Amino acid sequence: MILFDNGFDAPSSYLLGSAGLCGRGTCDHGTAASWRRHQESPVTTVWIIVRNISVNPNGQANFDTVQSAIDAVPANNPGWIRIHVASGVYREKVTIPMNKTFIMLEGDGRENTSIEWDDYNSTDHSHHRNVHVDATATFDCSADNFIARSISFKGVRPAVAAQVSGDRVSFYNCGFISVQDVCIVMRMKNRHLSDLQGRHLYQNCYIEGGIDFIFGHARSIFQLPAGIAPGFITAHGRWEAEQHDEFVFTECTVDGVTPVYLGRAWRDFARVIFYRTSMSSIVVRRGWSAWHSVGHERNLTMLECECTGQGSNRTGRAPWSRAVSATQIARFTSLSYISADGWIEAQPH
């Protein structure tokens, strides 16, 4: 499930460890030992930063590219490492593989620090190759326990801005911008998953994109202040009733300049919830599309609750979508739904 929320107050008890910046191209471990958490569930210890890495193309940092800093993180890293990325535009693809866990990627503000690339979801005629949508992502995170703060990810051409498939992943004050097709991809790892894997939080983020610019089948919460959304905001891919996956938007703003649907069903058990979201007139009256699930509408869960604005008028909405009470969806709109073990509260700040 994905929950976008604009009103979560982070606990004030988070701690930051002290660790000096390391020499260019190498890093030293901090001396703090309290980063280790109890191995049992739930998470009972607040993590701290044990290592700092800096990125700046002007040569006054440990590395001059984001990917080189990621590569410096040891495989199966056990403690949080903060990678601070200075203001600027970094024109590169960035990949965080599954074994590069516990990374915090921190910019100088989503208006100031951005990672941009221009892969294209089509045939690249100049190089005679076909580029699949999964391969176009400017930023691709497959690792568990990842945090991004105050940084933007951009797909310069029609491509994916960010692709996320790890568990316990959160984005704070970030931007996701794509020309069309897809802005963010949320998908499970290519292996059997328990109910608690693939949990994502997007808090106070800005998302701008086109058709299906949020698609996939993770358990995620979006807490967004604003987003421009021509086309379809979501294409959820839940394919069976037993999956505990959904996109949940809470206290968000949907605005823009061209008509938009709240979502369409990518697969037959898609589940999307808009809660206390401000919807401008760009939201089309029908609101939802069954897409490939025509004939299976009874399996779709497209819900709206306490939304406001001209676009929240449900006159003319798809008849199989529903308006519900806050009580009916309370378990989905609480952060505890994706953080029952306390992983969000234990993150370093």
Give residue 79's pLDDT: 93
- The average pLDDT across 49-63 equals 95
CB atoms within 10 A of CB 289: 18
CB atoms within 10 A of CB 68: 14
- The average pLDDT across 310-338 equals 95
Q: Which of 107-111, 201-205, 206-210, 231-235 has the lowest average pLDDT?
A: 206-210
Give residue 163's pLDDT: 86
Is the pLDDT assigned to residue 329 strictly greater than 90? yes
Is the pLDDT assigned to residue 225 strictly greater than 50? yes
- 3-class secondary-structure state, position 147: strand
Q: List phi, psi (to 5°) of 198.
A: 75, 40
Residue showing tokens 């960035």 = 94
* Options 119, 144, 167, 212, the catalytic residue: 212
The rounded distance, in Å, linking the Cα atoms of 3 and 242 is 19
Give residue 327's pLDDT: 96
Right CATH for 2-36+46-337 from 2.160.20.10, 1.20.1290.10, 1.25.40.10, 3.40.720.10: 2.160.20.10
* Options 119, 167, 181, 255, the catalytic residue: 181
Please tell me the chain's helix, strand, coil percentages from 3-state DSSP, rounded to the nearest 5: 5, 35, 60
Edge-to-edge order in the sheet of strand 94-96:
94-96, 139-141, 162-164, 184-186, 214-216, 234-236, 263-265, 288-289
Q: Which of 1-10, 41-50, 57-66, 150-159 has the lowest average pLDDT?
A: 1-10
- The average pLDDT across 58-82 equals 95
Q: Which of 234-248, 275-289, 309-323 has the lowest average pLDDT?
A: 234-248
- The average pLDDT across 102-113 equals 97
More confident residue, 326 or 126: 326
Q: Please name the amino acid found at residue 333.
A: T
The rounded distance, in Å, linking the Cα atoms of 335 and 344 is 8
- For this structure, is 181 an active site residue? yes
DSSP assignment of 27-67, as one string?
----S--TT---SSSSP-S---EEEEEEE-TTSSSSBSSHH
**pTM: predicted TM-score of the whole model, two decimal places:** 0.79
